[in-house]
Structure 1
Amino acid sequence: MPSLSSRLASTLLPVAVLMVAMASIQSGASLAKSLFPVIGAQGTTTLRLVFAAIMLTLILRPWRTRISTESLRPLILYGLALGGMNLLFYMSLRSIPLGIAVALEFTGPLAVALFASRRAIDFVWIGLAAVGLWLLLPLGKAEGHLDLTGMAYALGAGICWALYILYGARAGSDHGMQGAALGVLVAAVFVAPVGIAHAGAELLRPELLPVALGVALLSTAIPYTLEMVALTRLPAQTFSTLMSIEPAFAALSGLIFLGEHLSALQWLAICCIILASVGCTLTAAPRQQAQPLVPTD
Structure 2
Amino acid sequence: MSVRLGYGTNGLTDLRLDDALSLLADLGYEGVGLTLDHMHLDPMAPELAARTGKVARRLGELGLGVTVETGARYVLDPRRKHGPTLLDADPDARARRTELLVTAVRVAADLGAHAVHCFSGITPEGTDGDIAWKRLGESLAPVLDAAERAGVPLAIEPEPGHLLATLADFHRLREQLGDPELLGLTLDIGHCQCLEPASPVECVRAAAPWLRHVQIEDMRRGVHEHLPFGDGEIDFPPVLEALSATGYQGLTVVELPRHSHAGPEQARRSIEFLRTVLPDRAADPAKGV
State the TM-score, normalized to the length of structure 1: 0.27
**The structure with more helix, counted as a fraction of residues:** 1
Q: Which structure has the bigger radius of gyration? A: 1
**Structure with more contact order per residue of length (Cα contacts < 8 Å, sep ≥ 6):** 1
TM-score (norm: length of structure 2) = 0.27
Q: Whose strand proportion is higher, 1 or 2?
A: 2
